[in-house]
Chains A and B, each alone.
Chain A
Amino acid sequence: MSGENPDIDIGAIDDVIHGRLRLGVMAYLSAVNPASFPELLDKTGATNGNLSTHLTKLESAGYVRQKKGYNGKRPQTLVHLTPQGRKAWIAYLDAMKSLLGHSI
């Protein structure tokens, strides 16, 4: 497949979503919404700081919302995929289909 289309237009892809970790976060939130911070750490294999940085980037774009609260007496951060984030995620997948064909 790599030989068929080596010069795809990366500029057509939503840069906020793209990137392995942010892509993973968006993918997980598309199935489990909201997800707790530790849950995202576990599923993406990211480090605390790295995940935090990327979540801030997604939050700045309005794609996710971090809500700090408590579960019982324990502090808990829940990450929600916003309606805008879901739209962007669908648009991202559509862009991928256009770029890579309908095999994904």
Chain B
Amino acid sequence: MTKTDILVADLAEASRIAKAGENAPLVGGPIGLMWGVLLTAVFAIHYMIISGALALPQQSLAFLWIAFAVIGGVGSAILGRKIDAKPGAASTANRVEQYAWMMFSFTGLSLAVGVILNQILNNGTTELWTLILIFGFAGQGLVYGLTAKLTGHGWLHFAAFGGFTMAAVTMSFYGQNIIYFIAAIGTVFTIIIPSLLSMKAEK
């Protein structure tokens, strides 16, 4: 074997290893699934409260959404620890996905703070909360689309399409109670199913 042969063989091996890292699967599926199930349940309960199907006062909605944020936050921290230990968790694709969803959650948080301030300072309508739901679906479309483009996981474009479609659909029902029921069903398609597909691809 000449020096060149050895060099080429070494580079071929390095290339194989680099590709293994580059093609690492997305590992955030379990966190997405948790948020999807949680969100579907909370939208459904929200709908049942405001429609009177569940005999609870309207004030209980605040507790419902606070519980959602706390359970989701704790769940993300626990699952995130497990996910960080997975091979390829720090690949470019996974970092892009993780950061994009983190920014998405800050977007939601900033809107929630704005609505609370609006209600305190301007006696704003509680209907503003519904706008976060609609922006949430549009935001999902944005995050899925960016992740699909930057990570090469093209199938996420379908999830992006689902998010944008749900944003349009829910906007068309703005002002009606049924919007929360529609959102519960939509979340199955925009978060739960993409998360399950992501987990399947990981295996």
Spell out A's residues near B (CB within 8 Å).
1-2, 4-8, 10, 18-20, 23-24, 26-36, 39, 42-44, 71-72, 74, 76, 96, 99-100, 104
Contacts and interface: CB of A to CB of B under 8 A. Distances in A.
B202 interface: no
11 contacts: A6-B2, A27-B21, A29-B21, A31-B19, A31-B24, A31-B92, A32-B21, A43-B17, A43-B20, A44-B17, A96-B7
A91 to B, nearest CB: 15
A96 B119 CA distance: 63
Nearest to B9: A20
A10 B92 CA distance: 32
A43 B17 CA distance: 6
A44 B84 CA distance: 20
Given A32-B90, A34-B90, A71-B84, A27 B14 contact: yes
Interface of B: 1-5, 7-8, 10-11, 13-15, 17-22, 24, 81, 84-85, 87-92
B20 A23 contact: no
A6 B92 CA distance: 37
Contacts of A29: 21
Given A20-B13, A39-B88, A99-B7, 16 more contacts: A1-B5, A2-B8, A6-B2, A7-B3, A27-B15, A27-B17, A27-B21, A28-B18, A31-B18, A31-B24, A32-B21, A39-B87, A43-B20, A43-B21, A43-B87, A96-B11
A72 B77 CA distance: 11
A1 B4 contact: yes
Contacts of A33: 90
Contacts of B8: 1-2, 100
A71 B81 contact: yes
Which 6 residue pairs of A and B lie closest in terms of their CB atoms, listed nearest first?
A31-B21, A27-B18, A27-B14, A32-B21, A6-B2, A23-B14
Contact of B3 (A8, A27, A30, A42): A8
Contacts of A10: 3, 7
